[in-house]
Amino acid sequence: SDPTREISILQTAGFDRFLIRQSEAIRMAYIVHTADIHFDSPFGAVFDRRKAELRRSEQRAAFSKTIDLASNADMLIMAGDIFDSENVSLETINFMKRKFSEIPNVKVFIAAGNHDPYTIDSVYASEDFGDNVHVFSIEPERIVLDEIGVAVYGISFSSPHVEEPLLKRFNGLEFDPDLTNVLVMHGEVVSRGAGSDYNPIYPEFIEEFPFDYAALGHVHSFSGINKFVSSKNRREIYAAYPGVPEPRNFGECGEKGVIAGNIKAGDSDLKFVRICRRCFRNISVDITGTGDNQRIYELILSEIEKYDKDDIFRIDLTGTFDEDFTPDLASLSEQLKDAAFYLEIEDGSDASLNYLNYKDETGLRGVFVRMMMERLERAKDEDEKRLVNKAIAYGLGALSGGE
């Protein structure tokens, strides 16, 4: 009836080490896992200067949200490409130090990636981010957190390209089955034999090591929480990529965030948590049968209204339209400029062409069609054919008095 007295009796009987190990193994650790922040990204490839500066601020705001989420966690894990390059601004360094100081009781573990490798000249080697922050070196390391029964293993990239699997270097490293074993590493999961310039991670390798959770970085989309089974102790292994916390371009569409939840030996309860301020959206709009720009405007507007107005849109016009009509992209963009934070339109549609009707004409239109038909015959693939067909549409439109 008195748990304290029972523990005291067991300790007297020599079971104190057993009790400590059992306590560590049962204890669940709460973690927050992020990666691929790419601080100091230029953002200029998509946005003008003003909006690029705003997006950089929003990128930092996303990290502030991550820190807030981690404030009650046992560990904050950062799995590489924290910086977009080895050239890191002083403002970013000061910002990160301040944020880490806000969670002094949370252990922060960082493994450098291909964009921000660990070198003697890197920010990781020259800066002190705080007593609660540990940056893994280019050799395998093992840090044991006795108070929560967790062993954290990690390794950093030493250069932008790593062709040999870094997991090979963990052979012979001590693993304690009574602890929760966590891996922090940047790399690319590929099938055996496929190879990669970014630390190939073979699923078979993950199964060979008794990690309970592999916190990975490199892939910019949330991977889901993947489950493997250890080939050594049959314990379940969980592995995941959180993706980028704040997207930077149209290659990073959809909701972005971090992974958070509880882990312990052979078990986990991890979930994706949205962090991003805005989402990139690629949307196709079928304009088949339309003959005026106002109708296209209405179709686009009805699609983007399904999402948040603060999102970032690329509209791809698809389908076919009559050959005597050409969408006015400049006018459409101007009409829609206030409908979203940012919007761009790409014309992937095709004119409904009956250009064979003109091939025997003796005038300029006939010469143009015959020349373009020869181009079509020489086209190497469908993309080139599509481009030539679009050229025919614009050319015939111009020759018929259109814009």
pLDDT tens per residue across all 403 residues of the chain: 344 444 343 344 444 443 344 444 447 899 999 999 999 998 877 888 999 999 999 999 999 999 999 999 999 999 999 999 999 999 999 999 999 999 999 999 999 999 999 999 999 999 999 999 999 999 999 999 999 999 999 999 999 999 999 999 988 787 888 899 999 999 999 988 788 899 999 988 888 888 999 999 999 999 999 998 877 777 888 999 999 999 999 999 999 999 999 998 878 899 999 999 999 999 999 988 888 899 999 999 999 999 999 999 999 988 877 666 778 888 999 999 999 999 999 877 665 556 666 778 888 888 998 998 899 889 888 888 888 877 887 787 777 665 5
What letter represents residue 212's amino acid?
A: D
In contact, 212 and 148? CB cutoff 8 Å? no
Question: How does 292-303 read in b/e, with b if 16+ C-beta sit within 10 Å?
Answer: ebeebbeebeeb
Backbone angles phi, psi at 270, to 5 degrees: -110, 145
Strand (E) or helix (H) holding 267: strand 267-274
The set of residues, in sequence order, having a beta carbon less than 8 Å from that of 90 and lying 6+ positions away, is none
Q: According to the model, what pLDDT value does residue 267 have?
A: 85
Neighbours of 393 (CB within 10 A): 23
Structure tokens at 232: 């050594």
Q: According to the model, what pLDDT value does residue 185 have?
A: 97
CA atoms lying within 13 Å on the CB side of residue 77: 31
Structure tokens at 294: 């106002």
Alpha-carbon distance of 126 to 100, in angstroms, equals 17
pTM over 0.75: yes
Closest Cα to residue 283, out of 352, 336, 223, 351?
336
Q: According to the model, what pLDDT value does residue 18 have?
A: 37
Could you write out the DSSP letters of every residue in 32-71? Answer: EEE----BT---TTTS-HHHHHHHHHHHHHHHHHHHHHHT
The residue with tokens 């910019």 is: 220
Neighbours of 333 (CB within 10 A): 14
Q: According to the model, what pLDDT value does residue 14 have?
A: 43
Max Cα separation, the chain? 108
Neighbours of 154 (CB within 10 A): 26
CA atoms lying within 13 Å on the CB side of residue 307: 24
**pLDDT digit string, tens, across residues 157-192:** 999 999 999 999 988 787 888 899 999 999 999 988
β 150-154/141-145 pair status: antiparallel
In contact, 134 and 111? CB cutoff 8 Å? no
